Amino acid sequence: MASATKGTDPSVRVRFCPSPTGNPHVGLVRTALFNWAFARHHGGTLVLRIEDTDAARDSEESYEQLLDAMRWLGLDWDEGPEVGGPHEPYRQSRRMEVYADVARRLQEAGHAYECYCTAEELEERREAARKAGKPSGYDGKCRTLTAEQIEAYRAEGRSAIVRFRMPDRPITFTDLVRGEITYQPENVSDYGIVRANGAPLYTLVNPVDDALMEITHVLRGEDLLSSTPRQIALYAALAEIGVGNGSTPSFGHLPYVMGEGNKKLSKRDPQSSLNLYRERGFLPEGLLNYLSLLGWSISEDRDIFSLQEMVDAFEIGDVNANPARFDLKKCEAINATHLRQMEVKDFIAACEPWLRAPYAPWAPEAFDRAAFDAIAPHAQTRLTVLSEITDNVDFLFLDEPVADEASWNKAMKPGADALLRTARAKLAEADWSSAEALKEAVLAAGEEHGLKLGKAQAPVRVAVTGRTVGLPLFESLEVLGRERTLARVDAALAKLAG
Ligand code: GLU
Ligand code: ZN
């Protein structure tokens, strides 16, 4: 895969580490894009790591979809599934011994301990703390259990989770997007890293792998900001027990993406599903251009650019901490601009999937390559997304235009038959080698009936294409040809005559 590059700071190592649950969504793509652009800008390394430690929620199907989405978008990775790398395997489900070993060593070194509190006990104490106006995180009850207490808990049949022991001091870090942030110890309590059944949690496996994979910069969504002080403390402990190279990555938290009604865009929001954009025929470049604007901008007066231009300009320090609003209309407008900027031949090639089943309603043998190539440039300047091509050209390949009641009723007002008869006569006489001549014919017909061109062409358009809106009419007629055009006008007249 050819990849955009710019600078040379090969020590930069970032990761995109999705969990394979559900369908890829635009928030996830934005995170992937920013990490990719950052890696390419610096000439560093993008690691793709699959965080599939939650067997109940992860699926192979979702994993395949993630890789497929990355490939479709053109966001290539340097280490990870399928390409390999020095830190294999890159799927966390295949690294379980690593995590078990680290958890054990953290406990041995006193950085983690067994907690035997039951869910009910924890809830009860949390509630009491809340009532007393105290911080409601874990209260540290099991920090100093004696061997006898542990024995007694086990005799009761209790099982333990493993908790990480947070240091009793403030944690300060400089977020690459937000600047300096400090967390006070009373607000960051000891947290679980291994479940009672022995399964390691995200809180452990994510920083452990970042350490082992020598990640230098963590760029991720703002929703994960509160886990950062915990992870920074864990890094220090990992360094102490010799896991990783001892350094802590820099963190940059990308702003929230807001959807309708100023609510956070959720995975469940239909407009957040990447598949929807693929099915509607967004160009990867168009969609990524738009998603790059969710928290970043190339300059104040410019919102259309290529991926290479983004790579060249992308500085994480330019990312804005304020929530970004997802604006579908703008996303579509940017895609439309990218469509218009394509070479015609590339546009034609990109339309291909929508000229076949299941999208195209015509018989495969009815498709006429020359006719399509002739009309394509007119479509290219009008489409928002590629899937719109089908309805715009179906009049060329269907035996009869689509039957659209609403369009028919709108265009075929009283008097439409008289206009159509005159237009038919003039079109029959016209020079069919020029769209301009066909326009003159319909214009002249309109004049005879006291109609401007717009009004006069409406019944002709519906007679020929079935719809009130579509590609430029006279170019459409020219491509459809004299015989078929006249036959369709005749058919419409017959229908009007009842
Ligand atoms: N697997 C985590 C998620 O998808 C990754 C979070 C992170 O980037 O640290 O939320
Ligand atoms: Zn406990």
The residue annotated as part of the active site, out of 6, 141, 264, 267, is 267
**Angle at 99 (CA atoms; ends 27, 93), nearest 5 degrees:** 55
pLDDT bracket for residue 26 (50, 70, 90)? very high
174 in Cβ contact with 180 (< 8 Å)? yes
CA-223 nearest atom, ligand 1 = 10
Does residue 90 register a pLDDT over 80?
A: yes
- The distance of Cα 241 from the centroid of its chain, to the nearest Å, equals 39
CA dist list (Å): 117 to 162, 163, 199, 488:
11, 11, 17, 79
- In 3D, which of 172, 151, 302, 289 has the Cα closest to residue 233? 172
Helix axes 473-480, 453-465, angle to 10 degrees: 40
DSSP lists the bridge partners of residue 258 as 264, 325
220 ligand 1 Cβ < 6 A: yes
C-alpha span between 111 and 239 (Å, rounded) = 12
pLDDT bracket for residue 3 (50, 70, 90)? low
206 ligand 1 Cβ < 6 A: yes
User: Residue of the nearest CA to atom 3 in ligand 1?
Assistant: 18
CA-51 nearest atom, ligand 1 = 1
pLDDT digits (tens, 9 = 90+) for 235-285: 999 999 999 999 999 999 999 999 988 899 988 888 999 999 999 999 999
Does residue 1 register a pLDDT over 50?
A: no
pLDDT digits (tens, 9 = 90+) for 382-427: 999 999 999 999 999 999 999 999 999 999 999 999 999 999 999 9
pTM exceeds 0.85 for this model = yes
Does residue 231 register a pLDDT over 70?
A: yes
Q: Please tell me the predicted confidence (pLDDT) of residue 5.
A: 64
β-strands 13-16, 45-48 pairing = parallel
Report the separation in Å between the CA atom of 251 and the middle of ligand 1, taken as the mean of its atom positions: 13
- At 356, the amino acid letter reads R
User: Residue of the nearest CA to atom 8 in ligand 1?
Assistant: 220
- At 417, the amino acid letter reads D
Report the separation in Å between the CA atom of 133 and the middle of ligand 1, taken as the mean of its atom positions: 32
Does residue 2 register a pLDDT over 90?
A: no
24 ligand 1 Cβ < 6 A: no
- 269 vs 207: which has the higher pLDDT: 207
19 ligand 1 Cβ < 6 A: yes
Q: Where are the beta strands (DSSP E) in 45-95?
A: 45-48
Q: What are all long-range contacts of 165-172, with beta carbons under 8 Å and residues at least 24 apart?
A: 165/110, 165/111, 165/112, 165/113, 165/190, 166/190, 166/191, 166/230, 166/233, 167/233, 167/236, 171/229, 171/232, 171/233
264 in Cβ contact with 257 (< 8 Å)? yes
- In 3D, which of 287, 289, 270 has the Cα closest to residue 22? 270
Residue 108 neighbours by CB distance under 10 Å: 10
Q: Which two tokens stand for residue 132?
A: 């007393």
Does residue 8 register a pLDDT over 90?
A: no
C-alpha span between 6 and 477 (Å, rounded) = 49
- At 4, the amino acid letter reads A
Report the separation in Å between the CA atom of 150 and the middle of ligand 2, taken as the mean of its atom positions: 11
Report the separation in Å between the CA atom of 486 and the middle of ligand 1, taken as the mean of its atom positions: 61
Over range 429-458, report the average pLDDT. Answer: 97
pLDDT digits (tens, 9 = 90+) for 55-82: 899 999 999 999 999 999 999 999 999 9
C-alpha span between 329 and 334 (Å, rounded) = 9
Q: Please tell me the predicted confidence (pLDDT) of residue 270.
A: 86
Over range 127-139, report the average pLDDT. Answer: 94
User: Residue of the nearest CA to atom 7 in ligand 1?
Assistant: 220
pLDDT bracket for residue 343 (50, 70, 90)? very high
CA-206 nearest atom, ligand 1 = 9
Residue 141: active-site member: no
Residue 418 neighbours by CB distance under 10 Å: 14
446 ligand 1 Cβ < 6 A: no
Q: Please tell me the predicted confidence (pLDDT) of residue 222.
A: 97
Helix axes 96-108, 202-212, angle to 10 degrees: 100
Percent of the chain with pLDDT over 70: 99
Over range 369-374, report the average pLDDT. Answer: 98
Q: What share of the chain is helix, strand, coil (3-state, %, to 5)?
A: 55, 10, 35
44 in Cβ contact with 8 (< 8 Å)? no
